[in-house]
Amino acid sequence: MLERLAPAEVLKAATCLTPDVLEIRGPSRLSGAVTLEGCKLASVTMMAAALLTDDEVVLRRCPDLLDQRVLGECLSRLGGTAAWSADRVHLRCAGIEAGADLPAELIGAVHGTIYLLPALLARNGVARIARSRGGCDIGVRPISNLADILRALGAKVRLGETIEARAPAGGLVGKRLRLDYGEQNNKFISGATKAAILAGVTARGETIIEGAYWRHPIVQLCGLLRAMGAEIEGDGTRCIRIRGVPTLHGADFSLDSDRLVLGTYVAAAAVGGGPIRCTPASLSLLEVEAGAFRRMGMSLDEDDGSVVASFAGRPRPAALTTETIDTDLGPMFAVLMTLAAGRSSLEDVVWERRFRYAGALRRMGGDNACSARMLNVTGVPALRAARVHAHDLRAAAALILAAIAATGTTRLAGAAHLARGYENLPKVLNMLGADIRTVWRDAR
């Protein structure tokens, strides 16, 4: 567990192993085996779910990332404990104080702290936390959708720099909820679905979530809550049904592998040839993305609890949209499109500033143009090294892959973003054959 430090020191301690500047010499041939960490997005909400019981909750294969460290420190400051041991975290929230305040600097460091709000509300009937603007700067992160869910379940919610929520005297009450946010549904329904689940599992009566988010992190969250005694059906579909129970108990739960980390290493095989064996994994984790990789020429196979990815030649062009593929894997596909033999396009309907990496790819010799939410790419036969900057987590990973394919030494600033999504990505890529050197300070 992190020591009780000032918020700035907590964040520094959590990111100390990730340098902000890397030098990547390419091109490199990549092959070998990777052990995947557990799902980041699921574990963040699972750590908030530990607030729903006084018993111990153990999360096995929990990734040790900035978000998880910040959530653990938040639980500790509220009166609970978060103890790390090997690849698991032990959470106990019996000592949680209803009136405890968390430093705004800590809450604002990562986006996942927002899920403390519905969990604290369900536990104590009242919640008060600073508004978080953490996470990658890729677009507006809505909070009104989460507030609407809590209001629908009976809470009074006041939005400001501090978010305050209070349940009625008898507690939250289940309701039929319809999540219909139009064209930006993926941005809105993910957080709204998580909030509805966290608040609904102990609400009186039945909560039905229509138009729910369906991807794997939701299935994982519901799996943990069922292990804690919750009554949930329909996760993985667009309609989730919850029958509220008065109390939950502890659980010992193992997370599935992170699908976004798996997708990143599959893309690494595309730029480095492979084969790369990712364990434990199945192609079901990648849902529609596996089909997109194959259409671009990837060889993907399942073998004894592993996914094996390999590639030969140039990628084939493709037209993709984040209405189907995960927006967080869009930058990886953009690198493949940059090297493809032909014209490709990538539409992002979720985040309005997702394509900030496009300029870096152009500096490396790529040919692309952004128009509103569309990235149009004409593939080039090779990339060249350049000095580039990553503005967000997935852009940092994608630009490392581009540098592995490029000729010369690329200097990448902004690599500290990786601390929020990957355990030692540069080190693992070096084990696969990459040539990545840490700089720690940007001497430009």
Task: Taking each helix axis as running N to C, give the angle between helix 259-272 and helix 330-338, from 0 to 180 degrees, rounded to the nearest 10.
Answer: 10
**233 strand-pairing partners:** 241
Catalytic-residue membership of 136:
yes
State the catalytic residue, choosing from 39, 136, 222, 278: 136
Please report, in angstroms and rounded to a whole number, the separation of the first and last CA atoms in the chain.
36
Closest of 411, 419, 405 to residue 437, by C-alpha: 411
Vertex 159: Cα angle to 157 and 164 (nearest 5):
50
Active site residues: 136
